[in-house]
């Protein structure tokens, strides 16, 4: 593909985040949103009408087999991520896939193998990587300014934040889990990247479900379905050990009785410097010189570019140049391995060693 060729994208899933993708792609130079698909056809039709998208499909497979489409965005419930991503790669399409990469490790492996066979780009939609303060800290880490990052603490504690109670979000067979796989995966992804991508080796974790089953802790994302069910966790905690000796702790909740500003956070502890990031707008660096504490508040750039636009531009660049995305298929697989191990550790009460063998 030539560097300035227009890329024709089809969006599969016309729900909440599918619409966010459509809006973002419409603002992305070099892209045409050529089609939209949803198993709930009236929703796809409404999005097409609203955004003047010429083709509408009642399922993802028909869109995938449209020869006029170069790439797809997959923004459907988690259980369909792997089936659709594998089919899209096999049909020769590039894929921007919503997080979590897959519902479990088995499905994640299928995506990794399909990506390797296809030679196409598969990128995970972790837009937080492109937030300005996160990028500033990443650059400092890459320049060695924090020294050796030996420990990090991350989390996202919501007091009342259960999305779409009773819908696919709160059913294990459709989502793969609760806040851990929903918001924890963002923080895992970002923390590992900011720590310099050490290889995780083992996990100890626990999950709890104290509020969801009692219909408490309901949030504002997604419409509840009171005839549905709730069988996922509402809080998870974990300690992840890396092959370089560093550690990461993770705490996430959709519902918890605690003091929280409902913002995601990361604390990076390095031998030369530390960094704290909270939400999208607060960041601080910590160091010591001449026995004095030095704290530096990070500044947002005056001209800000929407992180989703930067993510889309990165996707296009990877398609055009054949380079590996920052949020690569293996980063998605790593996240799935850790999530799986946290659930397993919670079930067994034991530390779980990560099995990296893709042939198992």
Rounded Cα–Cα distance for residues 101 and 341 (Å): 15
User: Residues 23, 43, 239, 300: which binds ligand NAD (CB under 6 A)?
Assistant: 43
User: Residues 22, 25, 36, 37: which binds ligand NAD (CB under 6 A)?
Assistant: 37
Rounded Cα–Cα distance for residues 150 and 271 (Å): 7
Size of the residue set binding ligand NAD (CB under 6 A) = 25
Helices (H), 169-238: 172-175, 179, 185-194
Of 312, 273, 269, 305, the closest CA to residue 289 belongs to: 273
Stretch that binds ligand NAD, among 74-82, 103-111, 326-334, 338-346 (CB under 6 A): 74-82
Binding status of residue 125 toward ligand NAD by CB under 6 A: yes
* Strand, helix or coil for residue 296: strand
Binding status of residue 78 toward ligand NAD by CB under 6 A: yes
Cα separation values, 236 from 2, 205, 301, 336, Å: 46, 7, 34, 15
Q: Which is nearer to ligand NAD, 311 or 316 (CB)?
A: 311
Binding status of residue 14 toward ligand NAD by CB under 6 A: yes
Stretch that binds ligand NAD, among 34-42, 205-213, 247-255, 266-274 (CB under 6 A): 34-42
Rounded Cα–Cα distance for residues 317 and 331 (Å): 18
User: Residues 6, 8, 17, 62: which binds ligand NAD (CB under 6 A)?
Assistant: 17
**What is the footprint of ligand NAD within residues 175-204 (CB under 6 A)?**
182
Stretch that binds ligand NAD, among 77-85, 238-246, 283-291, 337-345 (CB under 6 A): 77-85
Dihedral of CA atoms 299, 301, 304, 308 in degrees, nearest 10, equals: -60
Interaction mask 80-119, ligand NAD, x per CB under 6 A: x-----------------xx--------------------
Stretch that binds ligand NAD, among 1-9, 39-47, 322-330, 347-355 (CB under 6 A): 39-47
Cα separation values, 148 from 207, 283, 284, Å: 30, 19, 18
- Asked whether 12 and 73 are in contact (CB, 8 A), the reply is yes
- Asked whether 339 and 188 are in contact (CB, 8 A), the reply is yes
Catalog residues that contact ligand NAD under the rule CB under 6 A.
Answer: 12-18, 37-40, 43, 59-60, 75-78, 80, 98-99, 125, 127, 182, 222
């Amino acid at each position: 593909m030539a560097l300035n060729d227009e890329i024709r994208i089809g969006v599969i899933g016309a729900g909440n985040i599918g619409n966010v993708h459509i809006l973002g792609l419409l603002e992305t130079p070099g892209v045409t949103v050529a089609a939209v698909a949803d198993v709930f056809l009236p929703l796809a039709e409404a999005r097409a009408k609203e955004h003047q998208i010429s083709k509408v499909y009642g399922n993802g497979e028909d869109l995938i087999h449209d020869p006029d489409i170069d790439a797809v965005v997959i923004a459907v419930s988690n259980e369909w991520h792997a089936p659709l991503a594998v089919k899209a790669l096999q049909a020769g399409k590039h894929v921007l896939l919503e997080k979590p990469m897959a519902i479990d490790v088995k499905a994640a492996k299928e995506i990794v193998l399909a990506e390797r066979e296809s030679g196409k780009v598969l990128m995970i939609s972790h837009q937080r990587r492109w937030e300005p303060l996160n990028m500033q800290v990443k650059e400092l880490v890459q320049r060695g300014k924090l020294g050796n990052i030996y420990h990090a603490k991350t989390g996202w504690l919501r007091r009342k934040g259960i999305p779409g109670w009773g819908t696919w979000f709160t059913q294990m067979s459709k989502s793969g889990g609760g806040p851990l796989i929903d918001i924890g995966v963002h923080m895992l992804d970002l923390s590992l990247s900011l720590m310099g991508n050490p290889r995780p080796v083992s996990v100890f974790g626990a999950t709890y479900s104290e509020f969801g089953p009692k219909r408490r802790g309901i949030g504002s994302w997604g419409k509840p379905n009171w005839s549905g069910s709730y069988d996922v966790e509402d809080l998870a905690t974990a300690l992840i050990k890396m092959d370089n000796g560093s550690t990461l702790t993770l705490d996430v909740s959709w519902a918890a009785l605690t003091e929280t500003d409902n913002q995601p956070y990361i604390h990076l502890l390095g031998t030369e410097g530390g960094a704290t990031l909270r939400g999208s707008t607060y960041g601080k660096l910590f160091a010591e010189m001449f026995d004095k504490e030095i704290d530096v508040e990070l500044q947002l750039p005056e001209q800000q570019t929407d992180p989703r636009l930067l993510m889309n531009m990165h996707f296009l660049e990877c398609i055009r140049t054949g380079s590996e995305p920052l949020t690569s298929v293996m980063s998605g697989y790593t996240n799935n391995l850790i999530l799986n191990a946290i659930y397993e550790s919670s079930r067994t009460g034991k530390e779980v060693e990560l099995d990296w063998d893709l042939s198992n």
